[in-house]
Structure 1
Amino acid sequence: MQTRTYIIILSFGILFLVPRFNSAQVDFNKTPDDDLGNIEDQFQEYFYEALKQKGIENYDRSVEALLKCIGLNDEPAVLYFELGKNYNKLKNFAAAEDALKKAVSKAPDNEWYLDELYGFYAAQNDFEKAIETIKQLVKHHPDYKEDLATLYVRTKKYDEALALLNELDKTHGISANRDRLRNQIYKATGRKKEQIKNLEQRVNDTPKKESNYLALIFHYSENNQKDKAFETAKELLKINPNSQLVHLALYKFYLDDNQSEQAIESMKIILKSKEVKPDAKLKVLSDFVKFVDKYPEYEAQLVEATTLAESQSDIKTLEELGQYYLVKGNKEKALNYFESVLRLDNNNFSVLQNVLLLKLDLNQFEHVLEQSSDALSKYPSHPLFYLISGVALNALNQPNKALEVLEEGIDYIVDNTKMEIDFYNQLSKSYTLLNNTAKAKTFSDKAKQLQTSNKK
């Protein structure tokens, strides 16, 4: 959009910004030499009053002053321009449109008036009128052409929009914003062949630009032209052997083509790449895990790749690895990855639970006791951490402390029968350790009663 030029007018101690106008202007510096001088004085007084009232947001009073100006001299286009802006602020949209159109009719080449009218129509979602107005603006400033293309898309004039986008690309080169508009058109119209043809032409025109290849690969794949996508990816790799992003496509093609070694190499490149986004890495890692589930002989390569992934300090990747090893039954490995997550994000609640439960399974009771105490300071009303702490204390033969923790934590249980059973079992164990068999049996019976009623 063009930069507006303003005349600064100082009046009544207030600074106003008034757009420069080009036709039927009143010369406020003219010395009156006849009876019309009084009229000009009045006009000037009302005009400055209008600006002052607009400056302090008294738009209705500004309108009154402008109408008095028009009563004295209705020729200056700026009066209608200012009037239209005031009406717009007062949400009198019909009057605003009439006034702005009047200003444009009096000064059809004034870019400020056209821009204001265009902005008014755009704000009213009157896109057809906005298009007609912006076409006049384009004659003065070609920068408005991209706005016009956007309006064509909004009004489903896709052919006109594409023609304008092609013109702008040819003149100014490719831009991400115009590409988004272009892709929006292709999606709305289903012109996949035209979209691919456009991308093929870009690859031919600029054969060393990686982004063109990547876009073409994506749209070939989306259009079920896998062979062409694969060939394009391999062509990009020839032109740019150091490309990392191309492997996001290549590893899948290699997997589909049963080229396991090449697929694994591509996945390794992705997992250690700084250019690939974490979400994309996570998807690749998930595919790698599925591949190894199918072909266990490649587990060593997965371990190597996950070591690379861990070095990138990517929380989502590390958590995914922890879940993978948890499912595989490798608790030590799972615990290592989950603890790596906590080092990066010590407020990750679900991972904290996994870490504590795994440490219980691995009999790391001292660590559990210390970590569950920290967890309770953060989450003082969460019963699971009381239970975990109680289990660890019983395991360490500290039943009195276990009873204290368990009796406090059980009060926080809400609609969780399984957890309530676990609490009763641990309370029974604490009393057993204290040789209080009666109390131990009471809580053991409560646990059994809940188990029986829960089965019904």
Structure 2
Amino acid sequence: MLLLSTSPGLMAQEEESAEVFLEEYTDQFQECFFEALKQKGIGNYDKAINLLLKCGEYTTSQNVLDYELARVYFANRQYVQAQDYALKALKDQPENVWILNTLMDIVQAQGNDLLLFQDRIPWDNVKLRNNLASLYFQKNNYTNARRILETLPKTVFTAQLERKISDSLNKEQQISSSIVKDSPQENPLEVLRMELQQLQDSEKFSLLETRAGEALENYPAQPWVYYYFGLSLHRNGKSSEASGILESALDFLIDNNDLQQKIYKELAAVYTALGNPSKANMYLSKIKSGS
């Protein structure tokens, strides 16, 4: 399937990419489908969704519609619906990297990790796991990329990706050392905080987990170190470990409302990922109340 570009604002290219694929569909379907893309392109997401659902009346094949519905619901921040349609599309086409990337983005937007959904995706498909390892590498999540590589047979692809991961980690460590070296040395805690924040901002969660874990050994009473460590664990698919670390952060927290709200938000996402809605809602209510 020649599915559409995932880059926003490229409606013309999307239509061109779909033309060949849509030749087998009726004129009614094509008119409805391209009008849906047009409405999505100008931000009329509800109208685009209704049109895509209407397209289903003109075809017995749902593949292209599931993917586009996932993308429109995602653009409209309706994550549950987006996730459902993306999962359906991936089951039909497990080797389609565009669908997989969209699903990863949807899951990540909810503070979760796709590795928690192994039972809901075609995990036995080797090509899917190859694609997933590559995407994690591109997103700088080297821990998860390596986890998936461990499940794959040794090939030229896996050897090359492992080498790329090692090279990237070495470069990150060099950058991290430069940050410490060039920062003011009179306040080592502030230097550390700056480093961890920069790693979070650049979404280098694998290195963040390593550095925050080391920092926790040296500064076991600093709540923000627990926060960064817990956040990195969650982003790296270790939600169960993250919950304990983040709750420990609250034990050391004194008069820091901004950090408290960040910890509550992360805990809500962690317990959502762990399938514990009661605790997730408890922390969500604390965010709203500010207590």
TM-score of the superposition, structure 1-length normalised? Answer: 0.25
Does 1 or 2 have the higher relative contact order (CA < 8 Å, sep 6+)? Answer: 2
* Greater Cα radius of gyration, structure 1 or 2: 1
TM-score of the superposition, structure 2-length normalised? Answer: 0.36
